[in-house]
């Protein structure tokens, strides 16, 4: 097989650890796409959540996950078994999702200079939820890129500060500060909008 499997079902499987992970990594490096699939399958749910949040679009999120798998498969030699595969993959996913989102924004800007979005249903609950989601997305957009990525990895992927540090190539202390500042800004924006309890 020349690349990773592209249709892997998300099932309840446990991440490989220790010797099993090292064996799967080596088998994948030797060209065994099935070994790579077994290695990444437990992390697909997290990758999808992180990518969708970062791209703010489920289709772009799916594309980002597919590209993440391709990049990870080709770059698996850079991963050291036993470190943190989830963080390794999530870091790639966030970067790909941001890249795809920027491309989509540029494309829309060229094609739809001023087309208004479709109005949602008129129920107050849907409108309130939509407004709150827009406030959160706008607040995330205003954050510096690294702070935004740290917040997404913490909130959507449930990653520890150590995992966030690995994914972003920083220290654990830096990851804590990035998440703290991001959450503080999100709270400020939501409080100002009167949408927090």
* pLDDT given at position 70: 93
CATH code of the domain made up of 1-115: 1.10.1740
What distance in Å separates the CA atoms of residue 151 and residue 2, rounded to the nearest whole number?
35
Number of DSSP helices (H) and strands (E) in the chain, helices first? 9, 0
CA 76 from chain centre, in angstroms, equals: 19
Q: Are 103 and 63 in contact (CB under 8 A)?
A: no
pTM: 0.60
Q: What is the pLDDT of residues 55-93, one digit of tens each?
A: 988 999 999 999 999 999 999 988 888 888 999 999 999
Tokens of 41: 């399958």
Confidence of residue 29 (pLDDT cuts 50, 70, 90): very high
Residue 30 has pLDDT above 70, yes or no: yes
* pLDDT given at position 7: 43
Confidence of residue 47 (pLDDT cuts 50, 70, 90): very high
Residue spans of alpha helices (H) in 112-160: 124-142, 145-155
Q: What is the pLDDT of residues 141-193, one digit of tens each?
A: 888 888 888 888 888 888 888 989 888 888 989 989 999 998 888 888 777 76
Q: What is the pLDDT of residues 86-133, one digit of tens each?
A: 999 999 999 999 999 888 888 777 766 655 555 555 677 777 777 777
123-197: CATH class: mainly alpha
Task: In the chain, list all ranges with CATH 1.10.10.10.
Answer: 123-197
Task: In the chain, list all ranges with CATH 1.10.1740.
Answer: 1-115
């Amino acid at each position: 097989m020349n690349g990773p499997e592209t249709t892997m079902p998300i099932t309840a499987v446990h991440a490989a650890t220790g010797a099993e992970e090292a064996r799967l990594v080596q088998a994948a490096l030797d060209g065994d796409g099935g070994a790579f699939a077994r290695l990444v399958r437990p992390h697909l749910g997290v990758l999808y959540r992180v990518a969708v949040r970062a791209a703010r679009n489920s289709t772009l999120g799916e594309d980002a996950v597919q590209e993440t798998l391709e990049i990870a498969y080709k770059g698996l030699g850079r991963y050291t078994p036993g470190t943190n595969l989830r963080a390794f993959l999530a870091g790639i996913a966030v970067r790909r999702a941001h890249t795809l989102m920027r491309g989509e924004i540029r494309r829309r800007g060229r094609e739809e200079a001023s087309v208004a979005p479709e109005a949602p249903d008129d129920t107050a609950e849907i409108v309130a939820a939509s407004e709150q989601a827009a406030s959160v997305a706008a607040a995330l957009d205003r954050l510096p890129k690294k702070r935004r990525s740290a917040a997404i990895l913490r909130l959507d992927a449930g990653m520890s500060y150590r995992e966030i540090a690995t994914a972003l190539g920083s220290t654990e202390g830096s990851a804590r500060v990035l998440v703290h500042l991001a959450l503080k800004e999100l709270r400020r924006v939501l409080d100002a909008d009167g949408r927090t309890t």
